[in-house]
């Protein structure tokens, strides 16, 4: 199984504990309610604290302010993955990529969402795009045991197995 990855954007500047981050960004959101980055950062800390519904609300508020905020689309997509809503997650990852086509985290997370929908061929194609964008990042994210389990699951379907073998051969070169 692949793991989705998020990005805090502003929160990365000074990493706080989830409780401190929630306090700080809740105050900033009250002071600057039209700041999409502050809503996004609040959502990041809510997510880290395990408050998925609140994080979803914060990310959606950020998107209500700025529909072209690719990081917020990616982050709300991750919340949807954790809520077992891969179709909704896919839509947000695709929005993020429409805004920022080279956004490797959104591309990688799209592969996760597709995999969780059992759309294995599409998932592999999305994964390979992410890997082509930033091979080091993607390989660093992969857990060999989880990747092995993912391929074993995907190979249970004969048609998928043949297509995966074809794609694997096509992309097996080190470049």
The pTM assigned to this predicted structure is 0.84
Which residues, including other chains, have CB under 8 Å from residue 71's CB and lie 6 or more apart? Answer: 7, 9, 40, 96
Q: What is the per-residue pLDDT across 38-58, written as a single tens digit (0 to 9) for each?
A: 999 999 999 999 999 999 999
Please give the pLDDT value at position 152: 84
Q: How confident is residue 14, by pLDDT bands cut at 50, 70 and 90?
A: low
Q: What is the per-residue pLDDT across 81-133, written as a single tens digit (0 to 9) for each?
A: 999 999 999 999 999 999 999 999 999 999 999 999 999 889 989 999 999 99
């Amino acid at each position: 199984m692949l793991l989705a990855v998020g990005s805090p954007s502003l929160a990365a500047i000074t990493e706080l504990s989830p409780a401190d981050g929630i306090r700080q960004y809740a105050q900033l959101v009250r002071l600057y309610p039209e700041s999409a980055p502050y809503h996004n950062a609040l959502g990041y800390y809510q997510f880290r604290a395990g408050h998925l519904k609140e994080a979803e609300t914060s990310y959606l508020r950020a998107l209500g302010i700025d529909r072209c905020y690719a990081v917020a689309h990616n982050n709300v997509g991750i919340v949807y993955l954790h809520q077992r809503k891969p179709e909704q997650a896919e839509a947000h990852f695709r929005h993020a990529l429409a805004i920022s086509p080279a956004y490797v985290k959104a591309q990688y997370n799209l592969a996760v969402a597709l995999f969780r929908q059992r759309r294995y061929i599409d998932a592999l194609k999305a994964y390979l795009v992410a890997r082509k964008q930033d091979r080091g990042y993607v390989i660093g994210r992969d857990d060999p045991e989880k990747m092995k389990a993912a391929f074993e699951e995907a190979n249970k379907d004969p048609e998928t197995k043949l297509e995966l073998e074809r794609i694997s051969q096509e992309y097996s070169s080190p470049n």
